[in-house]
Every structure is written in C-alpha cells, then in structure tokens.
Amino acid sequence: MSTIQKDVMPRHVEPVDEVLPLGQMIVYGFQHVLVMYAGAIAVPLIIGKAVGFTDSQIILLISTDLFICGCGTILQSIGIGKWIGSRLPIVQGCTFAALIPLGLIGQQYGIGGISGAVIVAGIFTLICAPWISKLVRFFPKVVMGTIVTLIGLSILPVAGGWIGGGDAHAATFGNLGSLVMACFTLVVILTIYTFSTGMLKNLAVLLGIIIGTLVYFFQGKLSIGSLDEVGWMTFPKIMRFATPEFHFVPAVLLSMVMIVVMVETMSSMMAMGEIVGRTADKNVLKRGLYATGAATLVAGIFNMFPYSAFAQNVGLVSMTGIRSRFIVGVAGCILIVMGMFPVLAAMVVAVPKPVLGGAGIVMFGMVAVAGIRTLGLVDYRNNNNGMVVALTLSIGLLPVLVPQLFHNLPPEIAMFLHSGITIGTAVAIISNLALNGGGRRKEQACAHCEPGEIDNSTTAARSAAIRTVRVWLLVRRAREERAAHHKL
C-alpha cells in the first residue's frame, strides 16, 4: 500500500474522543444539562436563603453558578494540555457534600466567610491532588458507600423544610395546601418516571417541577415579581456579593469536606472510565482533581461554592451509550449561555418551595440510593464492614436527628460536630482502618471485590504456599532416598 493511500485512510477514533455532527452534540448536550440542572441549582438556592439573600441576589447567584458549572465542565471534559482535566465525559456542578458545612459557615461568617473558605479549599485540593489520587485504596466500597448514603440522608431535612413552605418559623409552615402540592409534585414525578422511557424518563424531576409550578400559576399563588428585578443579560462579576474573608476554622472545615469531594469525584471518574472504555488511572485521576480544584478556587473568587463530578450524568452516559466527551463540552457551553441570562435563573427562583420539596424527596433520596447500591456490593462475611457502616451512619446522623446535641461546646468545635457529613467521613475512615486493618487483612482486601469474587492477592499467596510445600516434600524425599542408599 502506498504512502498516499495510508495518509488518506481514516484513523480509528475512540468513542470517547469522537466528534459528532454539531446538531447531535447540541441535542445530547442539552440532555446532560436537563439531567443535572435541578441538582446544580439546589446548593445556591439553599445557601442563598441561609445567608439572607434577597430573591434578586439569589437569581444572580444561580446565574453565576451555572456559568462556572459550564466552565468547570469544559475544563474537566476537554482539558488544558496534559495538566488539567480527565478528558472524560464528566459534568461538574456544586457538590451536595459541602451543603451543611457551607450553611454553618454562612450563618456565622456570611458569604464573605464562605468565599474565603472555598478559596482555601480549592488551593488545598490542587496541592493534595497528586497524593489523594494515589490513596484511593484507603477508600474501599464500604467507606465510599457509607459516606454517599450519609450525604443523602443528611440533606433530606432540607426537602422537608421546602415541603412545609420554606420558613419553619412562619405561622403557615406545614399548612395543608403546601403538603398537598408537595405530594402532587411527587406523584407526577413518580408517574412520569414509572410509565415513561428514554429521555422522558430522565426528565421526570424537571417535568414534575414545571407541572407543579404551572398548577400554582393557575391557582394565582405564583409570585413572579423577581422577574422584573433582573436584566435579560449579565456577566459574572468577581466578588459581586462580598470580599472573601479568611477564617481558620471555616477553612479547615471545608478543606476536610474537600477530601470527601475528591474521593467522590474519583469514584465518578473511575466509573465513567469503565463505561467509556478508558481506564481512569492515577494520572487521569490527578488531572481530574486538578480540574475540580481549579473550578473550586475560581468559584471562591466569584463568591460561589465547591464543585465536583455529578454522578447522575455518569448514569446518563451508561444508559444512552453516547460516550463522546465533546458532547459534555457542548453541555458546558450551554450552561455558560444560561448563566449569562438571569431571567432563566429568575424563573427557577419563582418555583414554589413545596414543589421543590416534592422534587427534593426524589433528588436527595436518589443520592442515598447510590450509596446503598454501593454498599450492596460490599462483602460482610468474616470482616468488620458491618460495624463500619453502623458506626458511620449512627454517629453521622446524630447532628441531623438531635441538632442541639453539641450546643454547649465551644463554637470552633461545634462547627465541626454540627456537620454530620464531616463526622461521618472521619468515623468511616478511622473505623475502617482500626477494625479492618487498613486493607492489610484478607477480609479488607475482599471488600474491594464483588460478592463471590476471588481476591487475586489471596489466591497468589495460597499458590505460593502450595509450591513451597511441594518443594519441601521433594527435598525431604530425596534426602530419605539418599540415606537409604548409603545404608545399602
């Protein structure tokens, strides 16, 4: 074959690097946006209310969040050279793992204290990425599954507050109308999810929110005054809401949470690597964590929050089989455009709280289900994995179930203990190391295996022992034969 013929032949392109026609990429990219949109705006909504923002400020907060979501997604999926970005179809958004710590920091230090802590957490992530990517063996399924389950259970009270109307101190909180609308929204979501397939099934939460909001509108109860308070187009501004303030306790608290975020992001990258056929080795994980750290650092400068990989989009890639990372890059561009039009965010703020509560039951519950699914792959035989799960969930849920438990402690200590996610993560790691030997025992090694799967290290050790015994028996038999020969 001639050189010219070789040059004109098309080269093989891996599915993850495939560039589809622009129209298809826009459609598939918009699907990614719709799947992650409800989760992406939840954190700005909650934190904005926690720090006392007005509706117009929350609108700008959401717009900025969507803009940085888009930039972080492009950074993760497309990457910068050989240094930043996993180059996997990963969507980045505000992480739920930091929700409760951010609320605690915001109540005491305001949005400025949150921003300073986020900047430090971003720098911490960039510094620790090379080492954390090598320590994935210390986070087996029993630890990761328990932490993710705890995250889902810890944020369910937020959905409960929305169902009641948003303000627990209001006289109308928990009235019959709010409860009925939350139930109606939940039923709509479950109906669409149960009887639909394909893309419509994936949009069940978003469609439920839209239908519930329309019912409020036709009842004349929908407040859309905030739409008049914002312009049609705007650009994110550095330190729009406050100048970052740096306090030791919030910075340490959020840096601890970022360890959880890094492990969560690595889990999503490893799962995505298996789906698209590109192994997420330690170099891929390191570059992915660099993208997460860079997005978080920039977010702090814009008064925003920590970012991580969105697991629901991993499931979407698995379901559709569309594996191109450039589709996710297009989704990032769509998020950037949405962030430049505050009127889109204003429509989100206008959604009634009971409607969000009905959807939140599903959204937050699915986070817990993801953790439970991982725990279902854990081997509980002849090890202490059950005790690790029991300790983590029991201790981690104490601040959620009994919020006043640590009120008499100094504020610096109470801030750590009020976050069940932070306590639970520490308990999960320490109890796993103490009870399971940190991965050195056979039982802990098998915790990484699927149920019934043979651990390769144990099998190799057993084979080596058998070979040693056989050699010893052969040597002994030779000596006996030599001794018998001398006697003759």
Q: What is the pLDDT of residues 225-237, one digit of tens each?
A: 555 566 677 888 8
Using DSSP's 3-state secondary structure scheme, residue 80 falls into: strand
Residue 88: φ, ψ to 5°: -120, 155
State how far the Cα of 424 lies from the Cα of 447, in Å rounded to an integer.
19
- CB contact set of 397 (below 8 Å; sequence gap of 6+): 150, 153, 154, 420, 424
Contact in structure between 303 and 65 (CB atoms under 8 Å): no
State how far the Cα of 371 lies from the Cα of 376, in Å rounded to an integer.
9
Give me the half-sphere count of Cα atoms (radius 13 Å) on the Cβ side of residue 446: 17
Mean pLDDT of the chain: 81
Highest mean pLDDT out of 174-188, 262-276, 308-322, 416-430: 174-188
Q: What's the pLDDT score for residue 470?
A: 63
Sorting pLDDT into bands at 50, 70 and 90, what band is 473?
Answer: low
Q: What's the pLDDT score for residue 13?
A: 72
Task: Give the range among 6-10, 246-250, 336-340, 410-414 with minimum mean pLDDT.
Answer: 6-10
Neighbours of 54 (CB within 10 A): 11
State how far the Cα of 184 lies from the Cα of 163, in Å rounded to an integer.
11
- CB contact set of 137 (below 8 Å; sequence gap of 6+): 439, 448
State how far the Cα of 292 lies from the Cα of 288, in Å rounded to an integer.
6
Q: What is the pLDDT of residues 236-254, one digit of tens each?
A: 889 999 999 999 989 998 9
Q: What's the pLDDT score for residue 330?
A: 94
Q: What's the pLDDT score for residue 453?
A: 42
Q: What's the pLDDT score for residue 181?
A: 92
Contact in structure between 91 and 307 (CB atoms under 8 Å): no
State how far the Cα of 117 lies from the Cα of 273, in Å rounded to an integer.
31
Q: What's the pLDDT score for residue 186?
A: 93
State how far the Cα of 468 lies from the Cα of 183, in Å rounded to an integer.
67
Task: Give the range among 133-142, 432-441, 473-482 with minimum mean pLDDT.
Answer: 473-482
The residue count of the chain comes to 488
Q: What is the pLDDT of residues 118-166, one digit of tens each?
A: 999 999 999 999 988 887 677 788 888 888 888 888 878 888 888 988 7
Dihedral (CA of 87, 91, 95, 96) sign: negative
Q: What is the pLDDT of residues 303-350, one digit of tens each?
A: 999 998 887 677 677 766 778 999 999 999 999 988 888 777 667 667
Q: What's the pLDDT score for residue 371?
A: 82
Sorting pLDDT into bands at 50, 70 and 90, what band is 51?
Answer: confident
